[in-house]
Amino acid sequence: MTDTEVAPTTPADLPETARDNRRRAWIVTAMLVAFMMVNFADKAILGLAADPIRQDLGLSATQFGLANSAFFLLFSIFGAAGGLLADRVSPRWLLLGMALLWSVSQAPMALGAGVAMLFASRILLGAAEGPAFPIAQQTALSWFPDHRRNLPSSLITAGTTLGIVIAAPVLTWVVRQHGWRSAFAVVAVAGVLWAAAWAFTGREGRHAIAAATGTAAEPGSANVAYRRILATRSWIGVTAAYASTYWMIALALVWLPSYLHNGLGYSSTTSANLVALVWAVNAVALLGQAGLTGWLLRRGVSSRWARARVGGITLILAAAGCLALAGGRRGPLTVMLLVLGFGICGVMASIAVTTVAEVTPAERRGGALGLMNAVVTVAGLLGPVLIGRLVDTQGPAGYRTSIVVSGVLLLLGGLAAVTLVDPDRDRRRLAR
């Protein structure tokens, strides 16, 4: 055969085109947004159905707080372990297994289990959901270079808020019309449906290939020890800031509906709508932060300002909202302060992820994100039971005390982000 007789290369022989790659990237991102929506709907059930669950199972506020804290008993440990495992095993299959376990853990409560199984099912759910956020972020970021990661990362984080926006009115209606156990059945089915769709669409992007094949994306990057990453001021600063955010997430998931209903006197329907409003504002804030940060980075502004200080200032504003909210009563001003205190602090979740991803070599990214998530979610273990204890001992005043504590934690987190985080500096140090 002569050179001119060689068969021409067909489109099937060519690598995936840039257009196909972009389409696949956004399909995977959309699936991961849905993944986080189911994830947070799972978490939200106990808070949305707090009063009927406590009444049917005879739980005090402290015991109910313990049931919610049980969710975080293994959450942090498995979050760290899952993140480390994701550096060695395809995240595609880890995500599929997690979603199926979520559904299994919800089934006993849907079928009539009691208090003991409530605790056991929450522990299992926490173990299965512990690695969800870091692995979802790692999978999404594998499709995008650093300068394009703000939007997909924020969308994944916004999935957590959209889950509550949809779950709050829908699950509240299910609880009122069909009983609180039906809500557990709804989220169990949602998990199974997502897993079935992911089995056909889930995939990692080309930015994960170097790690998967064992080749270093940067000279010497595979030799960077986790302890060096965890010792950077940027990792410490964003972890502290994200921990204050996670405290607010736990408070919003577990006690915000009860605070609005029992502390401020709103009806259950109005409380559910206000919860949805808070999380909707959170989603808007996340997308706004992604746009602002991307705009700043494209104009050459350092990540220290474009990410860390944008997030830190946001937390400080949220802290001011919480501290003012503690002395408020039901009314429009309270709603505004509620939105300020609870509705904008979630931007730090996305900022923390993209900052750690920027600092950390690809081969260590899953572990670094998982370990960060393990640390910050300790706030979820401590927060619900502490607030439950305050409510039992102080009555409605316990809610106000918890809001003050939350404002102080947000202030400290914001200061940590502003003063400690400098990704450019720490990335250079790790490269030495």
Question: What is residue 3's predicted lDDT score, i.e. its pLDDT?
Answer: 39
Render each residue's pLDDT in the chain as its tens digit; 432 residues.
333 333 334 344 435 577 778 889 999 999 999 999 999 899 888 888 988 999 999 998 888 888 888 888 888 889 888 888 887 888 889 999 999 999 999 999 999 888 999 999 999 999 999 889 889 998 998 898 877 888 898 899 888 888 888 988 899 899 999 999 999 999 999 999 999 999 999 888 765 544 333 334 443 455 789 999 999 999 999 999 999 999 998 898 888 988 998 888 898 889 888 988 998 899 899 899 999 998 999 899 999 999 999 999 999 999 999 999 987 778 899 999 999 999 999 999 999 999 998 999 888 888 898 899 889 988 988 888 898 899 999 988 999 999 999 999 999 999 999 999 999 999 999 988
Q: Strand, coil or helix: what is 112? A: coil
The enclosing domain of 290 has a CATH number of 1.20.1250.20
Asked, for residue 250, whether it belongs to a domain, the answer is yes
CA 373 – CA 392 distance, rounded (Å)? 30
Within a domain: residue 156?
yes
In the block, tokens 């991961």 appear at: 32
Residue 282, in any domain of the structure: yes
Instruction: Report residue 51 as tokens.
Output: 């009063």
Print the domain residue range for 146. 22-209+230-431
149, part of any domain: yes
Q: Rounded CA gap, 19 and 196, in Å?
A: 26
- Look at residue 208 in the predicted model and tell me its pLDDT: 54
CA separation (Å) from 118 to 73, 101, 219, 392?
Answer: 14, 15, 49, 21
Whether 226 contacts 409, CB under 8 Å? no
Q: Is residue 9 part of a domain?
A: no
Q: pLDDT value at position 205?
A: 75
Contacts of 30 (CB under 8 A, 6+ apart): none
pLDDT at 204: 82
Q: Domain count of the chain?
A: 1
Closest CA to 250 of 91, 80, 402: 402
Per DSSP, the chain holds a count of helices (H) and strands (E) of 22, 0
Q: What is the pTM of this model?
A: 0.77
CB 306 within 8 A of CB 398: no
Q: Which residues of 61-90 are buried (b: 16+ CB within 10 A; e: fewer)?
A: bbbbbbbbbbbbbbbbebbbbbbbbbbeee
3-state helix vs strand vs coil in the chain, percent to 5: 80, 0, 20
CA-to-CA dists, residue 153 to 70, 364, 425, angstroms: 28, 18, 22
In a domain, 413, yes or no: yes
In a domain, 296, yes or no: yes
Using CA atoms, how far apart are residues 255 and 250, in angstroms rounded to an integer? 8
Query: What integer pLDDT is reported at residue 216 of this predicted model?
Result: 40
Helices (H), 326-396: 332-343, 347-359, 365-376, 378-394
Check: CB of residue 188 under 8 Å from CB of residue 107: yes
Contact at 8 Å (CB) between 130 and 262? no
Q: Is residue 362 part of a domain?
A: yes
